[in-house]
Chain A
Amino acid sequence: MRKRLPIISLAIFGFGFCVIASAQEKQPPKEKHAVVLRQPLKEARLEVARVRLKKPAEVVEQGVKREVSVVLEFRVTSSQAIPVRALDPVLVVGDVSLREYRYEDHDRALVFTLYDPEKAKDGATVYLQFGNDAASRTELQSFRASEVKES
């Protein structure tokens, strides 16, 4: 019996360890660090592509439904993850505000869709801002029609 004690003890220890480890795995991973949201994005860049949709998108604005097959996609990238905030990111292109977006590339890219490509005027200033938080305003290069990539 004495010879078996260490084995039993080891088994009990091992079981306990597994239970604890299992319980820890069930805890959602924590993001512990502090983060400053109210600042411009770091090393932000803008790329614009004209995208021909495989399937026309149905757009409803002011109650009017229409189909769109060609859109402009404004892709804002940053060297850091772009924060996911309560306030929405808004891309302002001249006098047009784009509010439809998706995150990509582990949140290092935000892609905004302009369903009316003709509304983007050549030379328009472009910036990104979260809601009305001017401290988060990120200046981007102006929109150049000649630099729009075909996709």
Chain B
Amino acid sequence: MNRSRGGSHRPFYLAALVLLLLNSTASFSALVTDDEHDDEHEGRLCRHKPDNIQDPSRPGPHHVATTSYNLPNTITITATEGGSTTTDTNVHLWAVVYYPGLSSGANKPVAPGKHPLVVYLHGNHGIWIDSGGNHTCGPPTGNPVPNHEGYNYILERLASHGFIAVSINANDLNCKGGRIVARGKLILQHLGLWKDWNDPAKPDPTFNGRFHHHVDMDRIGLAGHSRGGEGIVSAYLENQSSGFGFHIKALHSISPVDFDSFVLVDVPYYVLMGAADGDVWDLEGARIYDRAAPRTNAHKMPKMQSYLYGANHNWFNTVWSQDEGWPSFGPNRLTDVQQRDVERAMGTAFFREYLQGLGAEHAIFTGDAVVPTLAPAQFYRSYQDPKHIAVDDFEDAPPNPLSNSLGGANTNISLSSFGEFTFSEFGGAFNNTFFQDTHGLIGGWSTQGAEFILNVPPANKDVTVYRYVSFRVTQVFDSGALNPIGQTEDFDVGLEDTNGNSTSVKVSQFDVIPFSYDRPGGEASMLQTIRLGLACFYCAEHKGMDIHSVAKIHFRFNRKPTGLVGLDDLQFSR
């Protein structure tokens, strides 16, 4: 930690001094009497290293019962998407169900109580198994690909934790163009079935009342993979716009496509993407994440993203067993089992938090905790808390890197590359390695000591209601010109108060800014969130700065001789 001193002491110093006196550990005493830089030591004090927590997907307390349905009557789905209207007839209402049972096994009675409903939806894939075992679009063989059964590994676990977990078959919408909106409509049809199956007043020839009063229709979560990952977003938005009234409380996409550029504003959203995706190679889920909770409506939802090194597209579904992942490269390719372990853990944690109110595992989305049993999986996260203030989202139109979102001035000191750019594959980008849907700041340096300073206006100087200074950052892949191949990035972030007191921390003490995942021909500069606890800036030694009166945020690029980074979403955050 580096610090400079100046100005008067603040009242909270006194409180901290009392705390200091009560704490007699040698390490803490050494800290407060030592004016030397001691990065490693102070880093441990101001922010705990990520806690180790148990796998959220360890089996829950419930017996797991199973059932399925494939109704005799099919439906017709008409949907308009991209200006064209499609009509699909003979669409089956077919699904597999895992639920908390009085005992384990097929078609057992439901465990007492109401259980939240989670619905999974697969993506585009062959629909018929031919004589060679291949999955094709036709001709029909009478042996359909059970695409929906590929998520049983997580349905089973969700059921053990008290969810009614359903996975829908959408074969009738596969092997055709688009069908994202149609997929959303199919989900809503199934939700309608569950609403009826929960209602004793409705006839129920399918289950004969087994689920009466057991489905918590006030707590619904949707999850989807690939086209299903965007289909759930469509379902959520159509539920709102068409007044269906289903209480959908959480959305989880796995390696989704982004055909329709939907914008989410008011529902917790979690996207998991594989860095070695050889199908949705341009990581389109990042775009859905970026657009969610837009600056005009940024405080209604949390959003979170995991970028999983070594994971392909298919293996989140056990039926899609082909390895389409970028072959022969990717230094950390995961096995199919390892890949699904991550989805099972993260998906379970997400729905437990947002449907059951059990937030104990929230920290694995923010980086404050890790699940050791998921090793060797490495994933880099983005997270935005709804309670935040945006210091700079770099979305100025026209681009203006010298002004921030709070209206303060920004200063560039010696950054050779400096400017706001579109972080997108569709033009205006700094280079062709961005696959996102946001604007950000590019900063490059070829001599140590370059700095980017953001001035915080007086009206926003008191940040005591927040816990973190948070920002998204990525190494920009530049073929090794400024970012050496294979090396992590590092720099300092500092806060300065209105009296000139400042404290800075080294980012690498808290998190890793990795080199781009090895994707020859598709190098990706993927933003991730770094959250630095505000305690890091004011606790140590009582000589730090005053977070009641923040005047400036410093990015000091003094740890590596050269570098090129993208920055976005600089916030004070809960």
Contact = CB atoms under 8 A, between A and B. Distances in A.
Interface of A: 28-38, 60-63, 81, 84-88, 99-104, 106-107, 131-133, 135
B142 interface: no
Given A86-B313, A107-B137, A133 B177 contact: no
Interface residues of B, number: 49
A9 B138 CA distance: 44
Interface in B507-526: 521-522
Contacts of A61: 83-85
Contacts of A107: 126, 136-138
Contacts of A132: 282, 425
A87 B319 CA distance: 19
B257 A86 contact: yes
A135 B321 CA distance: 23
B125 interface: yes
Interface stretch (B127-135, B437-445, B495-503): B127-135
B521 A84 contact: no
Contacts of A106: 130, 134, 136, 138-139
A104 B138 contact: yes
A60 B124 contact: no
A148 B58 CA distance: 61
Interface stretch (B89-97, B158-166, B273-281): B273-281
B107 interface: no
Contact of B145 (A28, A60, A63, A88): A28
A70 B522 CA distance: 41
A38 B521 CA distance: 10
Given A61-B83, A62-B83, A86-B227, A100 B130 contact: no
A99 B178 contact: yes
Contacts of A131: 257, 282
A32 B135 CA distance: 11
Contact of B177 (A31, A32, A101): A101
15 contacts: A29-B129, A34-B323, A35-B324, A60-B80, A61-B83, A61-B85, A86-B279, A86-B280, A86-B313, A103-B137, A103-B138, A107-B126, A107-B136, A133-B282, A135-B521
A135 B324 CA distance: 14
Contacts, number: 108
A102 B137 CA distance: 9
B124 A85 contact: yes
A93 B408 CA distance: 50
A104 B282 CA distance: 28
Interface string B175-187: 1111000000000
Interface in B167-194: 174-178
Contacts of B323: 33-35
A31 B317 CA distance: 12
Most-contacted residue by chain B among A28, A38, A86 (CB, 10 A): A86
Interface string B222-247: 00001100000000000000000000
Interface SS of chain B: loop
A86 B84 CA distance: 19
A54 B323 CA distance: 42
Given A60-B84, A106-B139, A107-B136, A28 B129 contact: yes
A132 B281 CA distance: 9
Contact of A86 (B124, B177, B425): B124
Contacts of B226: 86
Contact of B146 (A28, A35, A37, A133): A28
Given A99-B177, A103-B175, A133-B281, A32 B321 contact: yes
Contacts of A133: 281-282
Contacts of B522: 38, 135
A28 B149 contact: yes
A60 B85 contact: yes
A84 B324 contact: no
A88 B280 contact: no
The 5 closest A-B pairs by CB, nearest first: A29-B133, A103-B137, A60-B85, A34-B323, A86-B226
B520 to A, nearest CB: 11
A85 B123 CA distance: 9
Nearest to A32: B321
B327 interface: yes
A34 B325 CA distance: 8
Nearest to A98: B177
Contacts of A81: 134, 136
B4 interface: no
Given A103-B175, A106-B139, A132-B425, A34 B133 contact: no
B322 interface: yes
Contact of A88 (B80, B139, B149, B178): B178
B281 A38 contact: yes
A133 B284 CA distance: 12
A109 to B, nearest CB: 10
Most-contacted residue by chain B among A87, A99, A101, A132 (CB, 10 A): A87
